[in-house]
Amino acid sequence: MDRKAQSLDGTHENLNVSLPVEEIEEHHYVNEAVGVEENVRSALGHRFPSFSQFSPLLAAYWLILLVVIPLHIHFHIKVEFELKLLKANRAALMAKNQNLTTELEQVKNQMDNLKNINKNLTEQMEPIKKTWNEQNISRAQWSIDEYCRMENNKRTCVSCQKGWLQYQSSCYAVNNVEPQHQKTWEEARENCRGISSDLTVVDNEAEKVFVKDMSWVNNRIKGYWIGLRVEEGKWKWIDGSDLTNQTWMQQQSATDGQCVTSHQNQEWRSVRCNETNAWICQKKALSV
């Protein structure tokens, strides 16, 4: 009791408090356990981070994976698609190149054929040119002989060749043949074309009178074909112009298949084109 009182008064600094032995041992074990736990935690803390320390890192890894993997898949798919597209384009280009090569070969073959044809034509043209030149010379000589005839060892040139009649700026050939040699309108026109002329086209009243005066009609000749016929219900000349003076036909109806004949001292008449008659050819006179 005295010790307790002294202690309360603070007169003694060091006091030895007496405790039971069981409490002292328990207290010692608890301290040792706490020390061991701290040591273990300290050791583990140096070697293995806690889960809370792993969480941000794992989240970053997951975020990277979530971004990288889709990009990788997308890139892979894109690369595969582009490779397929490139292969398809390459195949198409190869096919096109093959077609162009084939076409080029065909063009080369055609050019070779054309060269051969040109060579053959050139070879064939040589004698034709020679003949043509000879014909031109002959034709020129013929023209000279026809239009510039020799009379008394002197050449006299005229506007119309022998056998043709001149009126104004034209030459006329009157084919007053026998009935067995008379022709249809088409046949007569073909004959005129064969001698560089055509059936007569009348431009005015004076020429009409001249043509009528040449149209000598007798018991062998019923009329002379001129270049007037019906086309699509109209009287037309062979040069494509319409008949402007309808009185020349005395109001005869324009019926398809009808052609016109000229008669001396008579008006023109409309007859079937397939009848046979004499005919009159016309061409330009030569200027001398």
215 contacts 280 by C-beta, under 8 angstroms: yes
DSSP state letter for 217: -
3-state secondary structure 74-93: HHHHHHHHHHHHHHHHHHHH
**Whether the Cβ atoms of residue 257 and residue 272 lie closer than 8 Å to each other:** yes
Distance between CA 23 and CA 168 in Å, rounded? 168
Tokens 């046949």, residue located:
187
Residue 1's Cβ-count burial label (10 Å; 0-12, 13-18, 19+) is exposed
Tokens for 11, please give them.
Answer: 């007169």
| Region 146-173 average pLDDT | 83
pLDDT digits (tens, 9 = 90+) for 24-78: 455 554 455 555 455 545 554 545 455 555 577 777 777 777 777 777 787 778 8
The whole-model pTM stands at: 0.52
Percentage of residues of the chain with pLDDT beyond 90 = 35
- Summary mean pLDDT of the chain: 79
Alpha helix (H) ranges present in the chain? 2-9, 21-47, 51-147, 185-193, 205-214
Sequence letter at residue 225: W
CA pair distance 268, 209, nearest whole angstrom? 11
